[in-house]
């Protein structure tokens, strides 16, 4: 099915604040998400998206299995990568330099969106982004994320509690794909991992790709994205 042009979808009155967090440790980003989720749970606080990159880290989701980690945790620590259990959906995955991460903190009840539709919109935003580079990304039923053939280019894992989302998507722009050799990515045997750099054979423009992803997110959620400074942190009243 052809994708509709981005400019055709009407704007909603529920803006999203975008926080550019830069490179940030996974645990620090998780703290940011918990604070953001508490804030967004209040009816008068806008939804938030964090744009960031992690130092090397393997995260094990709620349905993850440690036997999908193919080497010892000690060997990964020696290479400078942490291994952290987290509450997002999905199995084990890798985050690191060269990968664009977006954590989306949204009040789905306020937007009238269900969990399946939410994940579909994240996938579609990535597919739009890839199509702008003449890459044919696709969503595969039962395998959240975006694929090029049998190679995953974007992981999507979320948690939703009381209608508030956490976690989000990771798009491989130009990471060192050898990091993925240490795991069964997302617990799916026999499938590969790829990146925009590998698929295009060129050095991607990370800033341009980030802008395109955000524009696609704005389109999929019928919303206006508002820039916030990286130093700003969400706050909420107790």
Q: Are 118 and 108 in contact (CB under 8 A)?
A: yes
Query: For residue 167, which of 32, 33, 28 has the smallest C-alpha distance?
Result: 33
Q: Please report, for residues 12, 158, 199, the alpha-carbon distance to residue 166 in angstroms, rounded to integers and kept in the order given.
A: 21, 6, 29
| Active-site annotation holder among 130, 170, 182, 186 | 186
The reply to whether 186 belongs to the active site is: yes
**Dihedral, CA of residue 137, residue 143, residue 149 and residue 150, to nearest 10:** 150
Whole-number Å distance between alpha carbons of 116 and 113: 8
Cα torsion angle, 196, 202, 205, 206, sign: positive
Query: For residue 123, which of 100, 90, 156, 148 has the smallest C-alpha distance?
Result: 156
Query: For residue 130, which of 147, 108, 110 has the smallest C-alpha distance?
Result: 147
As annotated, the active-site residues are 186
């Amino acid at each position: 099915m052809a994708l509709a042009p981005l400019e055709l979808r009407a704007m909603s009155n529920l803006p999203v604040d975008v926080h550019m967090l830069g490179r940030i440790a996974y645990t620090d980003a998780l703290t940011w998400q918990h604070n953001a989720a508490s804030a967004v749970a209040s009816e008068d606080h806008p939804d938030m998206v964090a744009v960031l990159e992690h130092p090397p880290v393997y995260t094990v989701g709620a349905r993850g299995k440690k036997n999908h980690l193919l080497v010892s945790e000690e060997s990964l620590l020696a290479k400078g990568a942490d291994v952290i259990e987290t509450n997002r959906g999905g199995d084990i995955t890798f985050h690191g330099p060269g990968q664009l991460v977006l954590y989306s903190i949204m009040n789905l009840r306020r937007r009238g969106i269900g969990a399946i539709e939410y994940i579909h919109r994240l996938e579609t935003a990535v597919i739009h982004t890839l199509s702008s580079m003449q890459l044919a990304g696709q969503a595969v039923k039962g395998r959240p994320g975006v694929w090029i053939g049998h190679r995953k280019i974007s992981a999507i894992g979320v948690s939703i509690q009381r209608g508030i989302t956490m976690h989000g998507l990771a798009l491989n722009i130009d990471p060192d794909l050898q990091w993925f050799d240490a795991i069964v990515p997302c617990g799916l045997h026999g499938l590969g991992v790829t990146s925009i750099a590998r698929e295009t054979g060129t050095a991607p423009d990370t800033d341009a790709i980030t802008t395109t992803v955000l524009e696609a997110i704005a389109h999929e959620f019928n919303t206006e994205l508002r820039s916030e400074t990286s130093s700003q942190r969400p706050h909420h009243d107790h």
